[in-house]
A and B are shown apart, each in its own frame.
Chain A
Amino acid sequence: DTAVSQTPKYLVTQMGNDKSIKCEQNLGHDTMYWYKQDSKKFLKIMFSYNNKELIINETVPNRFSPKSPDKAHLNLHINSLELGDSAVYFCASSWTSDYNEQFFGPGTRLTVL
């Protein structure tokens, strides 16, 4: 059984389009995250939700909007896509505890043309 899953795995789209990435975890974790990894492998946190409540909201363009319908799901919607949005987006989940090791999903490679 996949612990953290993301769809789609690949996303190729034109500038200006709107797209969504979905994430689901079956680990029972109460916290979920979105990360962006650029072409230089720099891994940067974007958002975090704890029990459906936004707790980390880093400096990202407001074209990016996360939504958590329940604590097992965290989706990422991106409006008006730009070339610079091309990256791999990882979802992750963890418990809220001192030992909050994060389990990452397989990633979604977004290419904006």
Chain B
Amino acid sequence: QQPVQSPQAVILREGEDAVINCSSSKALYSVHWYRQKHGEAPVFLMILLKGGEQKGHEKISASFNEKKQQSSLYLTASQLSYSGTYFCGTERDNQGGKLIFGQGTELSVKP
């Protein structure tokens, strides 16, 4: 079942903050976050595991609410380089990396 991301798109000015949410109707083992710039490959940002452990980007933070099966990605003091499409990928029951991706959130940061 595909996770649902919100918002679908957001426009920011440099320095502003944004939150992107990812919700699943199923119990999750992990949530991954990736950013994809136009014409490029997705790039790993963050992974959050059931139980609270996480690993990822220094300047980007995220949370995982296991009760709600929801993850949020926090982008603070946004930079122009943050522009792109953000995807969450969810994994159930440690399925050997089988990620089901959300539909993406398009983020545009303007000067």
B interface: dominant SS? strand
Contact with B along A21-64 (1 / 0, CB 8 A): 00000000001010000001111110010100001100000000
Task: Judge whether A90 and B44 touch: CB under 8 Å.
Answer: no
Residues of B within 8 A of A40 (CB): 103
Q: What is the size, in residues, of chain A's interface with B at 8 Å between Cβ atoms?
A: 25
Instruction: From B34, B42, B87, name the one whose CB has the most chain A CB atoms within 10 angstroms.
Output: B42
Whether a CB of chain B sits under 8 angstroms from the CB of A98 is yes
Given contacts A31-B97, A41-B85, A55-B96, contact A107 B55 (CB under 8 A): no
Q: What is the size, in residues, of chain B's interface with A at 8 Å between Cβ atoms?
A: 27
Given contacts A99-B47, A101-B32, contact A106 B41 (CB under 8 A): yes
Whether a CB of chain A sits under 8 angstroms from the CB of B49 is yes
Q: Residues of A with Cβ closer than 8 Å to B?
A: 31, 33, 40-45, 48, 50, 55-56, 90, 94, 96, 98-107
Q: Residues of B with Cβ closer than 8 Å to A?
A: 30, 32, 34, 36, 40-44, 47, 49, 53, 55-56, 85, 87, 89, 94-101, 103-104
